[in-house]
Structure 1
């Protein structure tokens, strides 16, 4: 995290320019700025095994791989309209928007991930669905949430915030779990999986854990030699 904070401070001072070869063999200069860094920090957290090596590479000025990924992402591509059409109609409540904008993570990750959806909502033809749909509704339906606390697409805070509205709800928090299916999250816990099957068949919550811990991943090492330490 010290390296992440140092990178944020570095890129706030200005962008870097990285020459890379594209698929045709031509040398291109990729300009990488503070918001590119924020996007990279969020995107690469989905690959827990690679994240530390990626951060260390940037910290030590090895930008080539990141620049090539960014160049590929910036190429013209077909736009899938279902995303903005749905997001603009579902929208966000004023309370939720306030939470998004004041979240401590904004200092690291910025607001780019939701800013465009909010700003462009009036430009799409889909009808705004209103706050009645957006706000939680109490429910007595029995439900199990299986959620990984390394999920950067749908943070664990979402389940923790919704759970009080499900009076017969149960949360299995998976430490080191990512954005995966429920039974893949429980892949190391056959007893927990069986308890979920019993819940689905009978409604019984007997044997359901509240927490599952996945093994520590095998972190990839950086592909460059350790920098020399000055004496």
Structure 2
């Protein structure tokens, strides 16, 4: 049975050797949103070399859904780039941003693009190995890194046995895929609409194919050297949460609670009862467990605003509420080839690594936000794209940056840094927004500015205030 499965995967991976992409195949497609609404669209497929460094190698299939413009004079096609890495453009269009995709048709065709290895594009085989962190032992950074490195090495060996070229899954190749998409669409230029990792890809595309991009909207900016996060950005966000908490509770100190809890757990981890699959188990909680949890909850206010209550309870000796969160964080997790390889290839500069190490020693959460990324990347063994890849991007392409003040993944400072290289840019700062949907859906003003920008109008930098 296992042999038949392996043979089937090898056949699926085989592809056709070619040095250039094949013709575009397009078919009518009824696109269905998650809520059941439908819209007539087009499903397109084409092929590109998997690894352009190996022209005689196999090809892979890429796919997209095109929502035709409702304008009599549409502008360059707007190509949506999902985050992750590993997010699907077509999958995103099915969800909460469905209306946003449809609204942008007023100015151009809107393309939900599935990057290599995602969505309707050719997928990579799953890895049978999972990473499971022990519940009865308090977590440490070293143990977490080691467990993920071991699982990643096993997955890398599995994928290579199946013929997967992990070196082909990097942002340079994806940027060249975008230019191939532009070519098969017959477009002189395309506009890019991206979020999170998608902005990382968009920026590299602007550098590699400057004449192919008309303009770009980049939300939740991840610059070429932003794959690893700065501890100082998370510390600033903790201080913002503390200030907001003090405004409502003058006698409370969120930061003092965090420090007290971490000091207690460093001195002696605690053991509490936790429910796992209907059974009660003893969960050991250490300082790193709490740091890692808090770092992962700082993506947006939906989760981060629960932190003051959680830490106040822990400081008072009640770890029962946080237990379920930590169990979730430690549950067996799979490893995805595309997303792991993309991040590993992007890497980080020596300067950024040194800064992270320095900041980790003087911030409450250290560099828990990056766990277990660096160790996993080393274990995967893919080529690093190098210092030139991580250099700042300089361009005349007009860009509208969008950032949220409560985004613990891609803070406002990221866009400020990247925008220095763009001669024509504006920055829309969403006060009170975290990562993901709020950067697009937090206020109707955001869509208004995006429509104006993609329509060719000048847009000014401004701050948009969301309701608390």
- 3-state SS of 1:131 partner: coil
> Aligned partners of 2:375 and 2:356: how far apart in 1?
14
Q: CA deviation at 1:43?
A: 2.2
> Aligned partners of 2:432 and 2:361: how far apart in 1?
19
- 3-state SS of 1:29 partner: strand
Which of 394, 412, 433 matches 1:177?
433
> Aligned partners of 1:106 and 1:55: how far apart in 2?
20
> Aligned partners of 2:416 and 2:361: how far apart in 1?
17
Per-residue CA distance 1:111-163 (angstroms, 9 max, x = gap): 23335332343332422111111111211111011100101122222112111
Over 3 Å counting, the alpha-carbon distance change for 1:34 and 1:93 in structure 2 is same
Number of the residue aligned with 1:133: 389
Q: CA deviation at 1:30?
A: 0.6
> Aligned partners of 1:116 and 1:104: how far apart in 2?
15
Number of the residue aligned with 1:220: none
Structure 1 stretches of at least 4 aligned residues deviating more than 6 Å after TM superposition: none
When normalised by structure 1's length, the TM-score is 0.81
When normalised by structure 2's length, the TM-score is 0.42
Number of the residue aligned with 1:221: none
Alpha carbons 2:419, 2:425 under 8 Å: kept: yes
Number of the residue aligned with 1:39: 292
Aligned length: 210
Alpha carbons 2:395, 2:422 under 8 Å: kept: yes
Matched, 1:204 2:458: yes
Q: CA deviation at 1:104?
A: 6.4
Q: Which runs of 5+ in 1 are unaligned?
A: 217-231
Over 3 Å counting, the alpha-carbon distance change for 1:126 and 1:7 in structure 2 is same
Q: CA deviation at 1:92?
A: 0.4
Over 3 Å counting, the alpha-carbon distance change for 1:116 and 1:48 in structure 2 is closer
- 3-state SS of 2:382 partner: coil
> Aligned partners of 2:353 and 2:427: how far apart in 1?
25
Over 3 Å counting, the alpha-carbon distance change for 1:40 and 1:120 in structure 2 is closer
- 3-state SS of 1:21 partner: strand
Alpha carbons 1:22, 1:28 under 8 Å: kept: yes
- 3-state SS of 2:277 partner: coil
Q: Choose between structure 1 and 2: higher strand proportion.
A: 2
Alpha carbons 1:20, 1:29 under 8 Å: kept: yes
- 3-state SS of 1:134 partner: coil
> Aligned partners of 1:183 and 1:199: how far apart in 2?
14
Q: CA deviation at 1:110?
A: 1.9
Q: Which runs of 5+ in 2 are unaligned?
A: 1-254
Which of 275, 279, 282 matches 1:21?
275
Over 3 Å counting, the alpha-carbon distance change for 1:44 and 1:80 in structure 2 is same
Over 3 Å counting, the alpha-carbon distance change for 1:103 and 1:44 in structure 2 is same
RMSD: 2.2
> Aligned partners of 1:122 and 1:79: how far apart in 2?
14
Number of the residue aligned with 1:5: 259
